[in-house]
Amino acid sequence: MAIGDSIPYNSPDDCPNCTGFVDSYAQALTDQNAETYTAVNRSRHDGARTADILEEVQSGSLDEELSDAAVIIVSVGYNDQPPYDTGSCADTSLNLDTAAGAADALIATTADCIADRTGAAGADLAGVLKHARDLAPDARIVVLTAFNAWTGWSDFEALGAHTVRGASQTVATSLDAWRTTACEEAERIEGECVDLLTAFNGPDGLTPSGDLLAADYTHPSQKGNDLIRDLLLDH
């Protein structure tokens, strides 16, 4: 079962004719084992942040499916990264819908803001994982960390090397902090984390994802989906 943001969602608008990793992972488990694994994908394609997923699981709407799950994949954090559009860390004078405005906001993001917002998202993730573990004490629970879809994005790269360097460093720093937090919270409930940041962007988080992303340069391509499936199988 998959819950969380749109990274596992596999919308045909994002990746036409792709087989998402939730489905291919379930099929691979079926092929490897003497039982059938059925993919249940309850991820959301609505910009959900970790707080939204916490609210969803606490509503009880997913309780029955979580209780029945042998494997629970949790994908959160992608929509919690900077540039921040709410709270004291947001610069409301910038238009975050443009690459230039987003880059300016990223460059201005402080280490304190990253720490504050990562901590808040981590507390929300802790709530999600506790709820899942309480309902499924024997399930394999896997948290996917978030990858960098900024570096290598054509609109972003067009801003010039100096701007991209500064903005990309903020992204990599925030995603590294999130990876640490997500993995710690996974370990706390005897779960696992799969490091998509290194897999998609190298050890420093700054290598462009390239053809691991679909044409929208946000969601996994078929190659990216296959990589995530393989990471889940190998972990």
Note the pLDDT of residue 91: 84
pLDDT tens, 36-79? 999 999 999 999 999 999 999 999 999 999 999 999 999 999 99
Q: Tell me the C-alpha distance between 53 and 5, whole Å.
A: 8
Q: Could you tell me the residue ranges of all domains in the chain?
A: 2-234
Burial degree of 123 (CB within 10 A; 0-12, 13-18, 19+): middle
pTM surpassing 0.85? yes
Tokens of 15: 């990746």
Note the pLDDT of residue 87: 87
Q: Does domain 2-234 have CATH number 3.40.50.1110?
A: yes
Q: Tell me the C-alpha distance between 124 and 121, whole Å.
A: 5
